[in-house]
Amino acid sequence: MRICIVNTFFPPWRGGAEYFTHGLAKELAKGGDEVSVLCAQNPLRPGIREIDGIKVIRLRASGWLYGVPIIPGLFGAILSEDPDLIHCNFPNPYNASISALASSLFDIPSVLTWHNDLPPVTAAASLLTAAHDNLLSTAYLKRFDRIVATTRRYLAISRILRRFHGKVRVVWNGVDCSRFNPSIDGGWVRSKFGLDGYRVVLFVGALTKWHSYKGLDVLLKAFALAKGRDPGIRLLIVGEGHLRPAYMGLASDLGIGDSVIFAGDVRDEDLPSYYACSDVLALPSKDSSEGFGLAILEAGACGKPVIASMVGGVPEVVEDGVNGLLVPPNDARALSEAILRILGDEELARRLGERGRELAEARDWPRVARAYRTVYEEAISERGRASG
């Protein structure tokens, strides 16, 4: 099958949808499908490259709107690939609209993965989000043959997805359980940042306003409270973005600047070692903009427990007391208590980490790719019935 996957970016750009796209495309290609990925050029130059059996086409962007690139050549690029199926990823209304238009005009079966609703990160963004949710989304969503939600919980709470419940299927995101595994040595990361002898809280996420819902500011406040009671802990932050100076300033104001390490962007091949060097992953997301939290699966695959907020689709991915702990969003004190609880109880941390590995193995990429192939077949069948 010729599958054209449309996503905003592709690694080395760091993001959950980007890692999802790479992981799924790689597994589909291994299974014999002819897979191309269309994305914006950033952070590389426009052009075509083959990566892991995937034809990656990086297209030039002419501008930006609501944090996403506008790609004038996307429509033509989709048609040039002559796909049997288009698979687009949201949140990116521009890509979704163009993919839906190509699907409709040229009778190409199509699937949309809805990773999360648009995050209203500013007052102006809230107006754009409202216009999208109430007007634009219906126009393109009705043209997709199938829509994939990453959790049942997110399907239930998303007002937009509920309107299209009949065509929605639920498929979790996947993780490479061979790449992320408990046997990885994180010692070199501990040595690099002087973490030997400390217990480490890890945060993985982009440091931009579009990802401010990840709640790093809440984590910094929680860590300050926790460190006041336990000086033998450190916070390791993996990710980069224009808000890094603001977060560093907050850490300094809280008096924890010497205990917080901003590692910046790390190489993809090194990321598992950062999980390995940690004792717990914290994902203190603020609202339902967090549709899944791929870092949860990555940490679990490495045998690490997780602390996360009770928002979006997260409570389906983190079972409280099973593979991690859940805390209320925007509650620094509750988050600090959870941090101290896990770091102070080795048996609890071990048990949560072991269960996290089991849950990750159930979402290894070969299983997720098989589920997506089933959705693709449904979309093709649906289009055939409509055409007939």
Q: In this structure, are residues 343 and 349 in contact, taking their beta carbons and an 8 Å threshold?
A: yes
pLDDT range class, residue 124, cuts 50, 70, 90: low
pLDDT beyond 90 at 131: no
Query: How far apart are alpha carbons 97 and 271 in whole angstroms?
Result: 33
Domain 2-174+364-387 has CATH 3.40.50.2000: yes
**What would you report as the CA-atom Rg of the chain, rounded to the nearest whole angstrom?**
21
Handedness of CA 323, 21, 49, 65 (dihedral sign): negative
Asked if 2-174+364-387 and 187-361 have one fold, the answer is yes
- Per domain, the residue ranges of the chain are 2-174+364-387, 187-361
Nearest to 363 by CA among 292, 290, 275: 292
DSSP helix/strand/coil, 144: coil
pLDDT beyond 80 at 385: no
pTM for the whole structure: 0.91
| pLDDT for res 135 | 73
Domain 187-361 has CATH 3.30.2310.20: no
The predicted model gives 306-325 an average pLDDT of 96
CA distances from 73 to 70, 79, 203, 299 (A): 9, 10, 36, 37
pLDDT beyond 70 at 386: no
Give 211-249 pLDDT, tens digit per residue. Answer: 899 999 999 999 999 999 999 999 999 999 999 999 999
